[in-house]
Amino acid sequence: MPAKLNRMSGWVVDRELLAWAAGFVDGEGSFYLQTTSSAKRPNCLLRPRFEVAQVDSRILHRLKGVLGFGAGVNGPYDNKKHSDAKASPIYTYSVSGFEDVQTLMALLWTWLGPVKREQAKSVLMEVR
């Protein structure tokens, strides 16, 4: 596991909560390749990433608490995917980088469905 997890105090693996998290990730999450570039590195870099967005931040805080790592819950952001002016703002939770995405996969693998397993595997294989 990444060093980040080793430094976490009080984090305990709970199989039922991990099963819940896997079900949530299966239905709502997305594994993808994030492309980044900068003035110092003009060539695009590929970075594995997991992200999930929701209009209610509480469920994302629960997911982060179960997993014990990843970026904080961010937002609210304008929900530009919907043309409806009344669309609720969204919040996001993400995990970035090869080691952290691989750790996420390892924690949830037992309960992930075949579609998310394949999506996650293909993202990691692309940067390997």
Could you name the CATH architecture of 11-78+88-127? Roll (3.10)
Residue 96 token pair: 């970035």
Token duo for residue 16? 């039922």
Q: What sign has the CA pseudo-torsion 109, 9, 68, 125?
A: negative
39-74 pLDDT, tens digit per residue, is 776 777 889 999 999 999 999 999 999 998 998 899
The domain spans of the chain are 11-78+88-127
**What tens digit of pLDDT does each residue of 4-13 get?**
444 455 666 7
